[in-house]
Structure 1
Amino acid sequence: MPLYEHVFISRQDLSNAQAEGLVEHFSTVLADNGGKVVFSEYWGVKTMAYKINKNRKGHYAYLRTDSPSAGILEMERLMRLHDDVMRILTIKVDEHADGPSVQMQKRDEREPRRERR
């Protein structure tokens, strides 16, 4: 099955438990449509570069999935309809990286940047 990575931003006035509950909710939507969540991370409340729906901050969540495209389309459809979800991003990848995402790694654990010319 194809591999996908998802990031979604939910409203800032949700509690941490409610934001993590959204991850579980969308994981069950994928499972009902023949997919599975390989890895998920809750990144916490972060300040955004610009306001979205009058919000300056939002709860960020990250999912790595292995799912057919029909499951992904259904999950995205439900995310767009959900009042608490402000933005979504889905990317199809060739393979999932091992370990935590770059967002959760400490600065000294990351690979060094390449030199600029």
Structure 2
Amino acid sequence: MRHYEVLFILKPTLTEEEVSAKLEFVKEILSKNGASIESVVEMGTRKLAYKIKKYERGTYFVIYFKAEPSLINELERVLRITEEVIRFLIVKYENKKEIAAWEKLSHGIKQTKKEIKPLESPEV
């Protein structure tokens, strides 16, 4: 099983009940397809960097999960056709450093600046 993170933004016009129903809907898709959900982070309603589908705000969620790669196509398909989702991003963590960062993020531990290394340019 691989380590993933899905961030999705819901329309700001949804009621609290509709927002929680959509969150449960996404979690249900993950669990029905054999994913193991590690944590769910509700980031709240925030201002978007730019308008998306005429919306200036959106309700953000991040779900950290472990799953087989075949699940990702189904998750993408469902998120694309769900009208309440205005944007989503799926991230796969591959190497040991990324997986260690995923472990910390999924347990709510923030990374220090020492742990985040800038990209080094190759020497010519």
TM-score by shorter chain over 0.5: yes
Stretches of structure 2 lacking an aligned partner (at least 5 in a row): 117-124
What is the TM-score when the length of structure 1 is the normalising length? 0.81
What pairs up with 1:1-117 in 2 under 5 angstroms?
1-94=1-94, 95=99, 96-98=102-104, 99-100=107-108, 111-112=112-113
What is the SS of the residue equivalent to 1:100? Answer: coil
Where does structure 1 differ by over 3 angstroms across 4 or more consecutive aligned residues? none
The structure whose Rg is larger is 2
Cα distance per residue 1:25-60 (max 9 Å; x no partner): 111111111112111111110001100000000000
Which whole-Å CA distance do the structure 1 matches of 2:109 and 2:28 have between them? 22
Counterpart of 1:44, as a letter, is G
Q: By percentage of residues, which structure has more helix?
A: 2
Which whole-Å CA distance do the structure 2 matches of 1:74 and 1:87 have between them? 16
Stretches of structure 1 lacking an aligned partner (at least 5 in a row): 103-109
Residue correspondences, number = 108
Identity among equivalent pairs (%)? 25
What is the TM-score when the length of structure 2 is the normalising length? 0.77
CA contact (8 A) 1:37 1:66 kept: yes
How far is the alpha carbon of 1:97 from its aligned partner?
Answer: 2.9
The CA RMSD over aligned residues, in Å, is 2.1
Counterpart of 2:41, as a letter, is E
CA contact (8 A) 1:27 1:36 kept: no
How far is the alpha carbon of 1:72 from its aligned partner?
Answer: 1.9
Which whole-Å CA distance do the structure 2 matches of 1:72 and 1:26 have between them? 12
How far is the alpha carbon of 1:88 from its aligned partner?
Answer: 0.6
Cα distance per residue 1:81-117 (max 9 Å; x no partner): 0000011101101422323275xxxxxxx63578xxx
